[in-house]
Structure 1
Amino acid sequence: MTDTAPAPAPDFTLPSTAGEVSLSALRGAPVVLFFYPRDDTSGCTKENEAFTALLPQFEALGVKVYGVSKDSIASHEKFMAKKNLTVPLISDEGSDLSEKLDVWKEKSMYGKTFWGIVRSTFLIDADGQIVREWRKVKVPGHAEEVLEAARAL
């Protein structure tokens, strides 16, 4: 996690499981964007379940929470139904937002290199400024840490 000097979050308009989402339309409310590599994989499922479990507490603070990956809306809907997830999921199939926030990176696993999303989370204040960011996130305890940071806004 890094405390950063507030910087404007890039605006975007992308499809989500709750309809089209634009950051500019969310002004006035803090926003959490958590980026994860793929629907229905172990770590990504645990992260989505953790944010789902805490969603009522984020909502009580007026914070909007969205998960983001390159998966399609159809994939997101299937994942949400299978795992009873309630956090809306944004589809960044073109990786535009992922690239703007520098989470689309070359990765390697078992000696092979490939491009993918590096698990990262951004806390954006009501004015559209990124006030906290977490990069190379480890899932256990992460959603709780983000909630604490949101409470401090």
Structure 2
Amino acid sequence: MKLKPQRGAELTTDFCGLELNSPLVLLSGCVGFGQEYTRVEGFSNADVGAVCLKGTTLEPRLGNPAHRIAETPGGMLNAIGLQNPGARVVVDKYLAQLDFDETRYIANVSGSTIEEYEEVTRIFDDSPIDAVEINISCPN
């Protein structure tokens, strides 16, 4: 599948063999499971090269208890705790709502063991996801 920019300059980028419409990639957690920011007028997933989905674990996680976000003079701190509905729900419910002709989608997978990482990745193997990002740095 070859994706083409909707308008403007040619920004197509090759990232590890994956063709992106643009070098702009929305990072995991910024837009949940891919549709959140498109509710804002003027924003579209077609405007970015890829969207990294929110961190996903094998089983659902409620995340950390409140207070999970704190404002600072220089920005914000968060400790969400990888809140997510679990890999099966992401694949069966959230991926079905995405337009894979619009942009690329990258799953962000997390686990407590190597085996959990493998199992979550296998679940995404059977989906239309374009790539998998391994989350080994989220401390919570």
| Category of TM-score, reference length = shorter chain | 0.3 to 0.5
TM-score (normalised: structure 1): 0.33
Higher share of residues assigned helix: 1
> Using CA pairs below 8 Å that are at least 6 residues apart, which structure has the higher relative contact order?
1
Which has more radius of gyration? 2
TM-score (normalised: structure 2): 0.36
Higher share of residues assigned strand: 1
